[in-house]
Amino acid sequence: MKDFSKFEELINVKFKNIDYLKQAVVHRSYLNEHPDFHLPHNERVEFLGDAVLEIIVTEFLYKNYPDTPEGDLTNWRASLVNSKMLARVAEEINLEKYLYLSKGEAKDKNSKARQYIIANAVEALIGGIYLDQGIKKASEFVHTYMLSKLDDILENKLYLDPKSKFQELAQDKVKVTPHYRVLGESGPDHDKIFEVGLYLGEELVSKGAGSSKQEAQVDAAAKGIKKKKW
């Protein structure tokens, strides 16, 4: 059995009912191999945690930024609760070490699917904290690991997706609106990879790849920001 005492110490939550913590880290795949496990998988508590996280972040933004329009607050909130942020938090608290996964899932370490599993487990953990100790303790966790990153997000405009950010910077710095061209496609229909070029006028700034044109454009924009050192 896993020992959660160090984990509880790290996140500063001593669970009254340890099963709330354990359930938060049970992936569906584990139960396929261990049908007699005494707890269900974490999807229901993740559903709850998602709502708890959203209300904590929304209330914080609403109260602390009274003059900011709701459109901006929506973007800020999205940057605080998206899967990338959740995966970052999971890494900080070493949550992956405690997951109950099938043997197959346990081997699949660096895939997108693993990132989603980890991100979902953070939401489930927030749900578990809420069930065990209420909104105040859940709020403490969210403030420590997510809302503490808001200043950095605002300062570096991380709430803008790379495409929006590159466009804003390009218009500001060189007075040109960027555009994208599909440079190529590869792979079978069910698993296509698109290559897209990001242009300023006729200048090819960067190339991106992805399983959709949109994904490839985002990749190209992120690379373009780095290449231009913007």
The residues assigned a catalytic role are 50, 123
Q: Which residues pair with 199 in a beta bridge?
A: 179, 204
Residue 6: what are its φ and ψ, rounded to 5°?
A: -70, -35
CA–CA gap between residue 186 and residue 113 (Å, rounded)? 22
Residue 127: what are its φ and ψ, rounded to 5°?
A: -60, -40
Closest CA to 50 of 127, 116, 115: 127
Residue with tokens 């999971």: 90
**DSSP symbols for 87-107:** HHHHHHTTGGGG-B--HHHHH
